[in-house]
Structure 1
């Protein structure tokens, strides 16, 4: 059994107004003995975020999970005005071996609303059943135009990854060495869209080159049942409770889903964690 959790942690800021990364990791452990943990909104040197000390949270989270490989996915990397850098993005932590890691900057269209660069972070995790591509992202909140472009970017990443599994590539020394590739994949994160959004549905559209589609894991397991809310349960500043955090799997993995659940109790972030269990 492979257990994966995705969680937008809002830099560890809980509903109580306190930033507590240990609380968050402890709660993730209570949800499941996870093999892979995918996080969004991890910060480094952003002391102006509410409740944030400005610490390097990538390092702090890695220290809280000894025995896990910590993969950083920095989407925003800017100067702090004092000779340092400020970073913000995603993270994958895996206790299974991690092969190649890829970081894709998603399309960043011009838009007048506030927005920032976004990233798709991919790590090939070597499971007992073979390699699996684990991808996590956090799409733009303020502009549908940007989300549409970012979804097309994700689809292109998935298409080219599949092409690499069916195209023989010459091995080589050093930087040209071959590493495991995988057609099977899991995509997850905060997509800042509701289940009925056409741009969200676009993620699951078929490809014309044999690339396995990415299907919504909740829908694969529960059919037409409504997605549980994952956002605004305890704080309605951004609207009524709704779902915007999703997990997708390639269609070959859909029959292997044993459980997908949205935790409705945690108040360690403004989003709720999602657990996927696969027979993989």
Structure 2
């Protein structure tokens, strides 16, 4: 099972031009079973390169054999036209449930601007049984908002694990209640906008809340103390000042023995982030 996560920077390369086809080409070469993308845009001509097309539709069309879940936490209307910015999850495997979580956005007077953030959660019929795959893009500018979002992810993880421990199907209920099993086993991925030596990173991987399974950094499981490959800061982009790691896969402890590889694809300059790839045996 191969999962790719990538902040695609609305397809804007280092030359300031938008080439969604370059994003699609990289993804097709990686041949993932599940694709998790952040910074997907629609009807945003003011973004660098003019992201006026619906990239949600372009990506859905390019990967027609996949099932798609989209979420645009930032949705602004101009002349009744939605300007969207958010996340996509595409899966070759059957999706049995999907939830679109809205993450906290507390007021931070030091950083009054910003945007709403969200997280897509899916339950997949994957090899080895059902598991949850979740993708998100956390706050960059406001430490207050990012810390609140990390806390909420931990709470949602606890909720899923404790519900999985007591869930029993009830066929007599009306269909909207018959959601099926939502397992504790999970892969969390995306642009978390935190560094490996940050307090937010430590908080996310802190001892789990009661009833929750432990989360592990897939890079550390696979590579131990080996220096991290940077996920941003390559190829001459304006941001960040130096190469570093902002993008992650976190997995529940039961999935750790299945990690066959976790790597960063550093060659492409189609985005200011690099695709990260997780392979499970």
Whether TM-score is above 0.5 comes out as yes
C-alpha deviation, 1:48, in angstroms? 0.7
Map 1:1-280; keep pairs closer than 5 Å. 2-30=1-29, 32-80=30-78, 82-112=79-109, 113=111, 114-169=113-168, 171=170, 172-234=173-235, 235-279=237-281
Partners of 1:130 and 1:68 in 2: CA distance? 19
TM-score, length of structure 2 as denominator length? 0.95
Partners of 2:174 and 2:65 in 1: CA distance? 29
8 Å contact 1:206–1:213 — kept in the other structure? yes
C-alpha deviation, 1:53, in angstroms? 3.9
Residues 1:18 and 1:236: Cα distance change in structure 2 (over 3 Å): closer
Partners of 1:200 and 1:208 in 2: CA distance? 16
TM-score, length of structure 1 as denominator length? 0.95
C-alpha deviation, 1:184, in angstroms? 0.7
8 Å contact 1:125–1:132 — kept in the other structure? yes
> Which blocks of at least 5 consecutive residues in structure 2 are unaligned?
none
Runs (4+) off by over 4 Å: none
Which deviates further from its counterpart, 14-23 or 34-43?
Answer: 14-23
Q: 3-state SS of the aligned residue for 2:254?
A: coil
8 Å contact 2:164–2:184 — kept in the other structure? yes
C-alpha deviation, 1:273, in angstroms? 0.4
Partners of 1:18 and 1:56 in 2: CA distance? 16
C-alpha deviation, 1:92, in angstroms? 0.2
Number of aligned residues: 276
Q: 3-state SS of the aligned residue for 1:55?
A: strand
Partners of 1:236 and 1:227 in 2: CA distance? 21
8 Å contact 1:206–1:212 — kept in the other structure? no
Partners of 1:92 and 1:38 in 2: CA distance? 5
Q: 3-state SS of the aligned residue for 1:199?
A: helix
Q: Please, what is the CA RMSD of the aligned residues?
A: 1.2
8 Å contact 2:12–2:18 — kept in the other structure? yes
> Which blocks of at least 5 consecutive residues in structure 1 are unaligned?
none
